Amino acid sequence: MAHKHVQQISLNYDILADAYSRHLSGELEGKPLDRDWLRQFAAAVGSRGPICDLGCGPGQVAGYLYEQGAQVLGIDLSPHMIERARHLHPGITFRVGNMLALEVADASWGGIAAFYSIVHLQPTELATAFEECWRVLRPGGWLLLAFHVGDEVRHVEQLWGQQVSLDFRFYPRTQVEAHLRVAGFQVVESLERDSYAGVEVATRRAYIRAHKPEMTSPD
């Protein structure tokens, strides 16, 4: 992701931060499948290490994981989103960062939850993103993804009354799974669902739970 592209996404979400927080901070209340997968995810990571809500926005996923007893942090491109997340979830650490070039040491985290965090990545950037996730996860760590299913790009110039310029990319589940396997992950579970009417935009959604294998000693 070129620097200019990153900056553009960050600026757009700075514009959206207040409206985004008002509309989506409580969205998990209407998404039972998301809550169920996040509970299972928190239990699977356990005490293995902290979970990063990657592309955290105002921190609704981080907040829910925190309620499950997980050690959590959040990272997002937008400084204004990070400000909103800190205000809404004062018990959690949030900071600005780029999922394609994480300023995090190898094997730092026990889990990564990336809910709709790949929606602005171009196809050529998926491999880099998943390589970074692999690098910063501890052996035995877990990755949980959610994204829009399809093979299209939707350009948006207005959201919640705010003028923006954002491309939302949809990906086939099999394509994302293939990239994860190339990065070294084991795809443990995946599924798709239709949108929750009245709760979210009408798109098909995919969830993937992937595992970074434990290191094994050579024979």
List pLDDT tens digits, range 21-31: 998 899 999 99
**27 belongs to a structural domain:** yes
Give the length of the chain.
219
Answer yes or no: is 219 within a domain: no
Q: How confident is the model at residue 6 (pLDDT cuts 50, 70, 90)?
A: confident
Is residue 217 in some structural domain? no
Range of the domain at 50: 3-211
What pLDDT does residue 217 have?
47
pLDDT above 70 covers what percent of the chain?
97
Sequence letter at residue 63: G
Mean pLDDT throughout 97-105?
Answer: 96
Asked whether residue 30 is assigned to any structural domain, the reply reads: yes
Nearest to 164 by CA among 75, 80, 48: 80
- DSSP-assigned letter for residue 149: B
User: What spatial distance separates the first Cα and last Cα of the chain, rounded to whole Å?
Assistant: 40
User: Quick one: how far is CA 73 from the chain centroid?
Assistant: 12
The pLDDT score that the predictor gives to residue 4 is: 74
Count of domains observed in the chain: 1
Q: Is the pLDDT of residue 49 over 90?
A: yes
Determine, yes or no, domain membership for 218: no
Q: Which two tokens stand for residue 53?
A: 């809500």
- Give the number of other CB atoms < 10 A from CB of residue 62: 28
Please indicate, yes or no, if residue 41 is contained in any of the structural domains: yes
State the pTM of this model.
Answer: 0.95
Percent of the chain with pLDDT over 90: 90
Reply yes or no on whether the pLDDT at 216 is more than 70. no
Give 67's pLDDT tier (boundaries 50, 70, 90). Answer: very high
Q: Among 34-48, 135-149, 159-173, whose mean pLDDT is lowest?
A: 159-173
For the cut 50, the answer to whether the pLDDT of residue 219 exceeds it is no
For residue 146, give the CATH number of its domain. Answer: 3.40.50.150
pLDDT for 66: 98
Residue 144 covered by a domain: yes
Phi/psi for 79 (5° steps) reads: -60, -35
In a domain, 67, yes or no: yes
